[in-house]
Amino acid sequence: MVASARTYPDASGTPFLKWVGGKRQLLEDILPRIPDRIRTYYEPFIGGGAVFFALASQDRFDRAVIADKNAALVETYRVVRDDVEGLIGVLSDHVEYATDSDYFYALRGADTDAMSEVERAARLIFLNKTCFNGLYRVNRSGRFNVPFGRYKNPRVLNPTLLRTCSALLRGVEILESDFEDIARRAGRGDAIYFDPPYVPVSSTSSFTAYAKHPFGPDAHERLASAYASCVRRGAVALLSNSDCDATRELYTDFEVETVRATRAVNSVASKRGAIDEVLVVGVKPHARRPMAVVPNDSALPAAVARKRGKKTG
């Protein structure tokens, strides 16, 4: 069992990073859709982890597995979990330079291979708090390339928050992984929340550019099929995405709700503001029984599970 709000009274469920697409403002829509008691909670696109930290602070799961494809992000979560005091020590050396752009660019360009895990995690947190809009973007060679954010007084170090997050991460499995490998573990009694890079809705984002995107149409199709498999195995599965025809077509068999979010990151200032997003919340009511009765493979004798694996692929 992970640490709970009862054992850590200051646990507010606040993430330790800013993350584009962060779900703090949609928690009111998301949290009531997740059962009060979860056997294992899975979050395969962890990002800033807003939903994970909220659920952890409410003590709603027995186990949790969080993952992301971003190796530097995954390393940072592990350092917060395993060596929060070391991290606070290194971060406190950076604090006085929070508004110094020369320092920012020097640290941004530093050789991360020569750093320890704790130093790399402190660098990622420092850059996250001081760069433009808390964006995470790397160039072709994997180098972080977001410009300095020019904040007046960015809070680079919040030791209480880091210690709380560390406590909430205790016992949590943290993996660098593609979402599919995580999704296939979710079954009955479990909950899984998917918050992928969104299908672009802007008319200026050309289809050709989207097709080449690392999370393009093929990835979204793979995701829709992973979602359907989780539901078939009896997991409570939620998924966020942009509200557009492409998303709705991928989830026609499922119940899709519209939720409002405010998004600060758009290159066109007039397009910043409230936008609609969708929340896929499971099977449509008329389809509920046949979909939900398929038990979790882990609850079946091995031979039956193997047979089912052959049938369903």
Residues 6+ apart with CB under 8 A from 269: none
Task: Out of 8, 103, 148, 215, point to the residue binding ligand SAM (CB under 6 A).
Answer: 215
Strand partners, 148: 131
How distant, in Å, are the alpha carbons of 129, 136, 143 from that of 146? 12, 7, 9
Measured CA to CA, the distance from residue 186 to residue 192 in angstroms comes to 7
Q: How far is the CB of 70 from ligand SAM (least distance, A)?
A: 4
Main-chain dihedrals φ then ψ at residue 10, nearest 5 degrees: -90, 5
**How many binding residues for ligand SAM (CB under 6 A)?**
19
Task: Out of 77, 179, 227, 251, point to the residue binding ligand SAM (CB under 6 A).
Answer: 179
Q: How far is the CB of 274 from ligand SAM (least distance, A)?
A: 18
The span of 3-11, 67-75, 94-102, 262-270 binding ligand SAM (CB under 6 A) equals: 67-75
Q: How far is the CB of 104 from ligand SAM (least distance, A)?
A: 22
CB atoms within 10 A of CB 130: 26
Q: Does 195 bind ligand SAM (CB under 6 A)?
A: yes
The tokens describing 303, both together, are 């031979």
The tokens describing 282, both together, are 């499971």
Which residue type occupies 234? G
Q: How far is the CB of 16 from ligand SAM (least distance, A)?
A: 11
Measured CA to CA, the distance from residue 88 to residue 161 in angstroms comes to 11
Q: Does 178 bind ligand SAM (CB under 6 A)?
A: yes
* Nearest to ligand SAM of 81, 213 (CB atom): 213
Q: Measured at CB, which residue is nearest to ligand SAM?
A: 47
Measured CA to CA, the distance from residue 195 to residue 179 in angstroms comes to 10
The span of 66-74, 80-88, 159-167, 201-209 binding ligand SAM (CB under 6 A) equals: 66-74
Q: Does 70 bind ligand SAM (CB under 6 A)?
A: yes
CB atoms within 10 A of CB 190: 25
Q: Does 144 bind ligand SAM (CB under 6 A)?
A: no
Element (H, E) at 61: strand 61-68
Q: Does 185 bind ligand SAM (CB under 6 A)?
A: no
Q: How far is the CB of 24 from ligand SAM (least distance, A)?
A: 7
Q: Does 44 bind ligand SAM (CB under 6 A)?
A: yes
Q: Is 202 helix (H, G, I), strand (E, B) or coil?
A: coil
By CB under 6 A, name the binding residues for ligand SAM. 19, 21-23, 44-45, 47-50, 68-70, 178-179, 195-197, 215
